Amino acid sequence: MPSFRPLIFIVVLATFVSSTRFANAQTDLRVATSVMRITSADISYSAVEDIDFFRTNVAIDLGWSWGTLGLIYQNANKAEGVEEGRVENGLMLTGGYDYLFSHSLRLEGFARVGVSNGNDESQPLYATDTDVRVNLVAFSSEGTGFIRDAAVFPSGYVGAVVNKHGRVQALAGGGVWWHQWSAYVTAFHAFNGVSDPMNAGGDFDRRFAFLKNRGITTSFGYDVGPVRFGVQRNFGLLNSGNDLAFTFEWKHLLGGGLWE
Amino acid sequence: MGVRLATATTVLALLLISSPTSAAWERLKHFVQPGAVIEEETEDRLVLSFADSRIVIRMVLTTEPQDDSDIYGDFEVRRGGNPYRIWVATHQLWDDPERPRQKWGRLFRSQFLRAVRAPRQPPPPTMAR
């Protein structure tokens, strides 16, 4: 399997550098942390397996104009007693880019590249991921109707995620932003990968990173000034975990501003 | 079930998104006081006036900055989010001693007055694409 790392790194760097062509650019610093717990997973069409799996991460990125470049430190662990208690730590390089086609359509891209981890290759906890995500987002910038005199801004999106193992997931979702609140629903569906991780055959070594999975993710957010609180719940439908994540994000504007 | 829910949400969101340019005035008119008169309305321009026994006020609102704009529309972007419409006052309005805020504010409801932005210093940046 060829490594996607150099290619992804070049794409991330190129998009970031290209974003500096704007004369008046917003520069900001974002720090975010999230805690996620997976309590069960839907495996192989029928079995629901109880697991106890935690992921905690801290992300920091610098935004310049429409691009971002950053790092994610992630700690993954399984509790003692469920299986052997294990911990993995990993570091990912991240890059993102937004391209605005119009006042109702934009393309967003985001890439993560695992640059170090302490994975136990025989049974990794995946403290790092290497993947590229692209979303085409249609939205209303004028708002659609009012709730209590505050405009409602709906959006819908379709996209794809490709990870370093070549698994391709399609995404589709939609949601609304109102006042300081947001709510979104996203469905994901993998087109390829291991259907039965217990019988992964030749894909045994990468079975959990190459799952043919499917699920629904719901998320809710609340923005107050530079701070954002979020809750995300994932419902696995096939080869996917049922997890709950809490996020906290703080953004500091260093200069400039973004207007169209 | 879940996939259907997400599909329905996506389709519904896409249907709601259809925002013609005139949507800007439809949204804004929601915040115009009943006593105000619409003198002129085109796709990119809305002229409002208000008159009673004591004062007469006339204001020009445009979707983009123009020479005679009192308030113009713009779009603000938060990284990772969708651009959304904002309204920005010009110095022509903000610094006019004949039209203090308590006067021109009679044309709009309080929600709009809270949302309208002060003039930008320096002038609004334009982002070459």
Number of structural domains in chain A = 1
Residue (of B51, B94, B50, B38) closest to B69 by Cα position: B94
Q: Is residue A158 part of a domain?
A: yes
Q: Assign residue A211 the CATH number of its domain.
A: 2.40.160.40
Question: What's the CA gap between A210 and A162, in Å, rounded?
Answer: 10
Do residue B74 and residue A259 have CB atoms under 8 angstroms apart? yes
Do residue B127 and residue A103 have CB atoms under 8 angstroms apart? no
Q: Is residue B98 part of a domain?
A: yes
Sign of CA dihedral A26, A224, A252, A98: negative
Q: Which residue has the higher pLDDT, B125 or A227?
A: A227
Q: Is residue B128 part of a domain?
A: no
Q: Is residue A108 part of a domain?
A: yes
Name the pLDDT band for A208 (thresholds 50, 70, 90). confident
On whether any CB of chain B is under 8 Å from the CB of A106, the answer is yes
Name the pLDDT band for A118 (thresholds 50, 70, 90). low
In this prediction, residue A34 carries a pLDDT of: 97
Name the pLDDT band for A5 (thresholds 50, 70, 90). low
Chain A: nearest CA to B53, how far in angstroms?
A: 30
In chain B, what residues touch A153 (CB-CB under 8 Å)?
Answer: 82, 84
- AA letter at B40: E
Q: Is residue A260 part of a domain?
A: no
Structural domain of residue B78, as residue ranges?
Answer: 18-115
- What are A164-195's pLDDT values in tens digits? 999 999 999 999 999 899 999 999 999 998 88
The minimal CB distance from B128 to the residues A22, A142, A173 is found for A22
Q: Is residue A12 part of a domain?
A: yes
Beta strand extents in B5-124 (DSSP E only)? 37-42, 45-51, 56-62, 71-76, 84-89
Q: Is residue A142 part of a domain?
A: yes
Q: Is residue A36 part of a domain?
A: yes
Q: Is residue B93 part of a domain?
A: yes
In this prediction, residue B2 carries a pLDDT of: 57
Beta strand extents in chain B (DSSP E only)? 37-42, 45-51, 56-62, 71-76, 84-89
Chain A: nearest CA to B14, how far in angstroms?
A: 6
Number of structural domains in chain B = 1
- What are A22-66's pLDDT values in tens digits? 444 578 899 999 999 988 888 776 667 777 888 999 999 999 888
Chain A: nearest CA to B22, how far in angstroms?
A: 10
Q: Is residue A28 part of a domain?
A: yes
In chain A, what residues touch B7 (CB-CB under 8 Å)?
Answer: 172, 187
Structural domain of residue A173, as residue ranges?
Answer: 5-255
Window 132-191 of A: residues touching B by CB (8 A cutoff) are 137-144, 146, 149-151, 153-158, 172-177, 185-187, 189
- What are B19-64's pLDDT values in tens digits? 555 677 888 888 899 889 999 999 889 999 988 878 788 999 999 9
On whether any CB of chain B is under 8 Å from the CB of A238, the answer is no
Per cent of chain A over pLDDT 90 is: 45
Question: What's the CA gap between A194 and A192, in Å, rounded?
Answer: 7
Q: Is residue B125 part of a domain?
A: no
Q: Is residue A137 part of a domain?
A: yes
pLDDT higher than 60, residue A100: yes
In this prediction, residue A24 carries a pLDDT of: 46
Q: Is residue B39 part of a domain?
A: yes
Q: What is the pTM of this model?
A: 0.82
In this prediction, residue A21 carries a pLDDT of: 45
